[in-house]
Amino acid sequence: MTNSAARQTDNPVTPFDLVAASRWMVRGNLITDFIKAGGDRTSYGAFAKGGGSANRFERNVVLCEYLLRDVPGARVGLSLGGGGSGGNFCRDSACAIEQEGGAIESNLIAFCSDDGIYVNRGADSRVQNNTLIDTGGIVVRFVESAAAVEGNLVDGAIRSRDGAALHASDNLSSSVGALYFGRHAQRELFRDALALDLAWATQPPRHASMTPASPDLCRATRPPRPVYGAFEDIGTCAGTGPGTEVGR
């Protein structure tokens, strides 16, 4: 799902827009270049909102700015809750909670001018084993939100806003202070992260112990001590083994 040019519109520009639905699995998609040039200039790669439950984003690649770059505006990668919903669009006509029991797992999200992952009024959310590069990080927002955030590799910060309950454990991320001074330790783990060459530069960091989760981004089975983030070896995604370059 992609666009060849910025969209000159005030209307939503979101390739996958799920409202008031439950138990959807969104898996194995490539979503790129969703740029809204009109209105509030805010767009999302994919979201689920409107009072649904048990929706899941798994093993997707979201590149907010891949071929289209340097256009003003805010691009968000994946979201439970999106930008919120009017009551008339909600399953319960209220949307006190935008999503319940949603999950974002084993996705690669890159080059987003705003948050890579955004949880907005998402109760009992799970954000696990994602890789985020050159984004605003992971944000959980509003008191209605509660999110377990675990095993992610984030070139950015993981934070809560406006009273959200953030339960973060065993992630690799950077502090806001480090980012302010231009320090991006997670990018240095890859051969050339900003060129989307995601071969490991050195031995990748692994969890000390973790119950293996579902298959990784490349559909490989995770070992008992998995690597942080979405994939063990990006070369497996192309079927050509170690050293594969994924060019931007």
For 45-54, the pLDDT digits (tens) are 999 999 999 9
How far apart, in whole angstroms, are the C-alpha atoms of residue 193 and residue 133? 7
C-alpha radius of gyration, the chain, whole number: 17
Q: What is the structure's pLDDT at 210?
A: 72
Q: What is the structure's pLDDT at 179?
A: 79
**pLDDT 10s per residue in the chain (248 long)?**
999 999 999 999 999 999 999 999 999 999 999 999 999 999 999 999 999 999 999 999 999 999 998 889 999 999 999 998 887 888 888 888 999 999 999 999 999 999 999 999 999 999 999 999 999 999 999 999 999 999 999 999 999 999 999 999 999 998 777 777 678 889 999 999 999 999 999 999 998 877 666 899 999 999 888 999 999 999 988 764 433 334 33
**Structural tokens at position 35:** 């740029």
Q: What is the structure's pLDDT at 213?
A: 67
Residues with Cβ < 8 Å from 52, sequence gap 6 or more? 18, 19, 20, 21, 22, 24, 91, 99, 100, 102
Q: Which of 244, 149, 232 is nearest to 191 (CA)?
A: 244
